[in-house]
Chain A
């Protein structure tokens, strides 16, 4: 269990992280969202022990993060690097050893990861000769070859084509199933929505909101109701709902925004009683909407 408690970090006069708290349980996936410069990377670096917080604490299984916990952590930084002249197998083995794996276990483990990521054909080639996608796979292998208890991935999907993104997604799901706690930051909301169980939206170095997607949605004050056909009669009923406002019309359907507390079943009954309704949907806010709202941008 990772517990980040009110951490703070300053670089000279710049306050990179003012106050961030979060907790991540084993086998769960936690998404950190925020605009550029929000303090996500600094928070991740503090979690990994690369940076020491100026205030607050980071605890792993009740203890402070030190050399031993580094052994069970894995990290894929946003700015990815690779030893260009080193061969793929050699590079993954090097990082496996740095993570504490020793012979005879290290070789089969590396072979398994090469196979798992489909790098078999290029295992003997220098990394600089690989495509960008394959280089990213090597970087993922370097970060996770020791099958860490906590894997922190900063923008893991950036630069990956859909096929390789899918490979990474499956891999992360496998690790999650094995009990690895994952912390991800990404601007690819749909991937986070698919992977993560909990989220923290950070802006200006502070948590704006924390919680599971269901909890975040429960706190969202409105829902958008989509009704088809887009007839004036149905629109009139929708407009009469307390706090409702028109939110647009597209593809023969009308959208109305209304309070989350609205009795949608009763509303549907009223609509059906008035005319034939071919579509009725009370839409939950997407992660993207939640994010934009939290960081202060109008959805």
Chain B
């Protein structure tokens, strides 16, 4: 135990001051700040880029259209000159000229756009719908507006969230946390891989394994890596809370989610937090143990990439599967993925956060993951014990397999 503590302390102290860790931490903070502010910036950007348009046709039609389109477009001019002219568009810096006419009681709309991709047909149809109905039915506009503003209420039934807004915010939070989990797990797994490879390639490994039991050495390193990842996660989450609390998207003055408010409004429960940390630790331990074991087999740091590549693939798959599972948490594939080690922590967290996953599924998934962790630890310890003294050519996958099975 003393050996593990000694290795842990030295490894933690060495790596928390190391360039890669600090750079990763800072990049993460900057990334989170950007992620939390990005929706607001995009919204502002979109507002600033609201397209200017010219309305042409009968004054009664263009006047009515101007009222209906004012929320989505800036109407720079209303004219009776229906023939489009590029010079006119350029003069008023307009993106399009929209020509209105009526024939046989049906509204006709023709758009002349400098870039057709900039004009959304769906938005135009939605905005001009009352006008089209008025033309067709002859009903007054006010009556149509009243009819279209019928009472609509969305109520949650059997859902985790009380309202659509709460569900949207929770989805955004889970999406962000899964991404953070992915980053922390991957960064730290790569760091422990580099650390083991450094000891191997700098030839200090032999001195170390002569001094302490290789398994104690490996355990100390993995625990230090886990502690560093927790530090990283806590810092990132703190930054996330700090930069989102007190701001709401609807006001247009803040981030897409208000993490602080999510905690106080029960969208995020203590159970969710606990499960997140549990799954985070499992994912981290599974991957860092696996990466450390494999790293002990390499002889040159140049070989790191070729060996880490295949290990990263399941993590990337886990990220995408979890993101997809946010929208369909009860799909059969998502349930199956909840029991596949490495993929499971990501997918299970996504499902638990947005739906009511049965307790037995959670318990079984945790059990499977813990058993997988034990198996990975056993295999990695075996690889590490042999690999740290193995010099020469880079091992083939077959050699790694033989080491694991003999």
What is A's interface to B at a CB cutoff of 8 Å?
45, 48-51, 67, 70, 73, 75-77, 79-86, 94-95, 97-100, 139, 142-143
Tell me the minimal C-beta distance from B220 to chain A in angstroms: 10
Query: Given the known A-B contacts A83-B14, A86-B14, are A67 and B213 also in contact in the complex, defined by CB atoms under 8 Å?
Result: yes
Closest to A44 in B: B210
Min CB gap A151→B, angstroms = 11
From known contacts A81-B203, A94-B6, A98-B6, infer whether A75 and B210 are also in contact, taking CB-CB under 8 Å. yes
Total inter-chain residue pairs, C-beta < 8 Å = 63
- Across the interface, do B210 and A77 meet the contact criterion of CB distance under 8 Å? yes
Q: Does B2 contact A (CB under 8 A)?
A: yes
* Inter-chain contact A142/B389, CB cutoff 8 Å: no
Chain A residues in 8 Å Cβ range of B206: 50, 75, 77, 79, 81
With a cutoff of 8 Å between Cβ atoms, the chain B residues found around residue A83 in the complex are 14, 202, 204
Q: B17-54 interface mask toward A, CB cutoff 8 Å, 1 = contact, 0 = none?
A: 01000000000000000000000000000000000000
Q: Which residue of A lies closest to B214 (CB)?
A: A50
On chain B, the residues within 8 Å of A45 by CB distance are: 210, 389
**B6: which A residues are within 8 A, CB to CB?**
94, 97-98
Q: Mark B379-403, 1 if CB is under 8 A from A, else 0.
A: 0000000000101000000000000
Complex contact A99–B210 (CB within 8 A): no
Name which residue of chain B comes closest to A83, CB basis.
Answer: B204
Known: A97-B6, A98-B6, A100-B2. A81 touches B210 (CB 8 A): no
CB closest chain-A residue, reference B199: A81
- Is B147 in contact with chain A by the CB < 8 A criterion? no
- Is B7 a contact partner of A82 (Cβ separation < 8 A)? no
Verify if B205 is at the interface (C-beta below 8 Å from A): yes
Are A77 and B203 interface neighbours, CB within 8 A? yes
A84 touches B211 (CB 8 A): no
**In the complex the two chains form, is A84's CB within 8 Å of B202's CB?**
yes
CB-CB < 8 A to A75: which residues of B?
A: 206-207, 210-211
Contact residues in A for B210 (Cβ distance below 8 Å): 45, 48-50, 70, 73, 75, 77
- Per-position 1/0 for B251-273, Cβ under 8 A of A: 00000000000000000000000
- Which chain B residue has the least Cβ–Cβ distance from A51? B389
A100–B211 Cα distance when bound, in Å, is 10
9 interchain residue pairs of minimum CB distance: A81-B204, A81-B203, A75-B210, A79-B203, A77-B206, A81-B202, A97-B6, A98-B211, A94-B10
Tell me the minimal C-beta distance from B301 to chain A in angstroms: 13
Decide if B330 is an interface residue (CB 8 Å cutoff).
no
Residues of chain B lying within 8 A (CB to CB) of residue A95: 207, 211
Which residues of chain B (118-171) have a CB below 8 Å from chain A? none
- Within the complex, the shortest CB–CB distance from B175 to chain A, in Å, comes to 37
Q: Mark B206-231, 1 if CB is under 8 A from A, else 0.
A: 11111111000000000000000000
Q: Are B207 and A81 in contact (CB under 8 A)?
A: yes
B90 within 8 A of A: no
Do the beta carbons of A143 and B207 come within 8 Å of each other?
yes
> Does B3 lie at the interface of the complex (its beta carbon under 8 Å from any beta carbon of A)?
yes
A79, A81, A100, A143, most chain B CB atoms within 10 A: A81
Nearest Cβ in chain A — how far from B390, in angstroms? 10
Closest to A78 in B: B206
Known contacts A48-B210, A75-B210, A83-B14: does B3 contact A98 (CB below 8 Å)? yes
CA distance A67 to B210 in the complex (A): 10
Question: Which of A79, A86, A98, A139 is in CB contact (< 8 Å) with B212?
Answer: A98
Chain A residues contacting B213 (CB-CB under 8 Å) are 67, 70
B205 nearest in chain A by CB position: A81
Docked Cα-Cα span, A143 to B206, in Å, equals: 11
Instruction: Contact check, A77 vs B207: say whether CB atoms are below 8 A apart.
Output: yes
With A45-B389, A95-B211 given, can you name 15 additional A-B contacts, CB distance below 8 Å? A49-B210, A70-B211, A73-B210, A77-B203, A77-B207, A77-B210, A79-B391, A81-B199, A81-B204, A81-B207, A85-B14, A86-B14, A94-B10, A98-B208, A98-B211
A201 CB to closest chain B CB (Å) equals 24
Closest residue of chain B to A47 (Cβ to Cβ) is B210
B185 vs chain A, min Cβ distance (A):
25
Residue of A nearest to B11 (CB): A94
Which residues from chain A contact B391 at a C-beta distance below 8 Å? 79
Give 28 A-B contacts (CB < 8 Å), ordered by A residue: A45-B389, A50-B206, A50-B210, A50-B389, A51-B389, A67-B213, A70-B210, A70-B211, A73-B210, A75-B206, A75-B211, A76-B207, A77-B203, A77-B206, A77-B207, A79-B391, A80-B203, A81-B204, A81-B206, A83-B202, A84-B202, A85-B14, A86-B14, A94-B6, A95-B211, A97-B10, A98-B3, A98-B6
Contact present for B204 and A82 (CB under 8 Å) = yes
Known contacts A81-B202, A83-B202, A98-B7; A139 and B211 CB within 8 A of each other = no
Q: How far apart are the CA atoms of A95 and B206 in the complex, in Å?
A: 13
Chain B residue contacts of A67, Cβ below 8 A: 213
- List the A side residues contacting B199 at CB < 8 Å: 81
Closest to A81 in B: B204
Find chain A residues with CB under 8 A from B14 CB. Answer: 83, 85-86
A67 to chain B, nearest CB (A): 6
The listed residue (A50, A77, A82, A97) touching B202 by CB distance below 8 A is A82
User: Taking the nearest CB of chain A, how far is it from the CB of B148, in angstroms?
Assistant: 69
